[in-house]
Amino acid sequence: MTIVTPVGMSRKREGRGKFITLEGGEGVGKTTNLPFIQDYLQHHNIPVVVTREPGGTRFAEKIRHLLLDAESEPLSEQAELLLMFAARAQHIRHIIEPALAHGNWVLCDRFTDATYAYQGGGRDMSFSTIEWLENLVQGPLKPDLTLLLDMPVETGMTRAKERGGEFDRFESEKISFFERVRQAYLMQAERYPERIKLIKANQPLIDVQAAIANAVQPLLM
């Protein structure tokens, strides 16, 4: 995916900003749709900070590099989980919270639902451990809206392969891993139907973006 950097933090707005996260499995179109959402918000005069996880700060980007490095020594599930939350703690402290407090909206490519999906579903780690870490690191911070792009795993993997590039440590996993990731995402969507909006990702881009705009629009009220 392309590197996204926090932008648009210069304007102070009335009240707290909104926090939108974009989620989904491999190749579902998060990177493709991020600029569309950014443009959509800016068109409505909303200053938006675009960022990603793991990453978003210099230190958290270093953790991202460690996490995605396919050449590194095998990483224990616990180390992987703790590194995700270590990166998140930095990201919240230095980017997300200041931006929201400043009245900016934050648009984040993946957040804690990805931890439930990849470490909980994919790696079979306990959801209650993840929840404990979530409470420790985030306190009351939760996204106002999560757009979950969903489609069959094989379609996403085909798209990712066609896009090309080297596979990272996660992308090198087997299809069964990504099936578990997808199921865990869908469980999250069932658990939080108010917050998580399911977007069918295997349709023409114009239709995906219409569905995204529909889901974002109520937040503008």
Binding stretches for ligand Z5A (CB under 6 A): 1, 24, 26-32, 53-54, 84, 109-110, 114-115, 118-119, 159-160, 163, 170-171, 204-205, 208
Token readout for 154 is 């094989």
For ligand Z5A, give the closer residue by CB, 47 or 148: 148
Q: Which residues are within 8 A (CB) of 148 and not within 5 positions of it... i.e. 6 or more apart?
A: 23, 24, 113, 185, 188, 189, 196, 197, 198, 199
Nearer Cβ to ligand Z5A (47/120): 120
| φ, ψ of residue 38 in degrees (nearest 5) | -60, -45
Closest distance of CB 79 from ligand Z5A, Å: 12
Question: Which residue, 213, 195, 169, 182, is CA-closest to 33?
Answer: 213
> Which are the contacts of 31, defined by CB distance < 8 A and separation ≥ 6?
1, 2, 109
Closest distance between ligand Z5A and the C-beta of residue 15, in Å?
27
Nearer to ligand Z5A, 13 or 154 (CB): 154
Comparison of 1 and 79: residue with beta carbon closer to ligand Z5A? 1
Report the candidate in 90, 72, 56 with the shortest Cα–Cα distance to residue 170.
72
- From the CB of 217, what's the least distance to ligand Z5A, in Å? 20
Q: How many CB atoms lie within 10 A of CB 170?
A: 16
- Minimum distance from CB of 139 to ligand Z5A (Å)? 17
Closer by beta carbon to ligand Z5A, 27 or else 47: 27
Q: Minimum CB separation from ligand Z5A for residue 62, in Å? A: 14
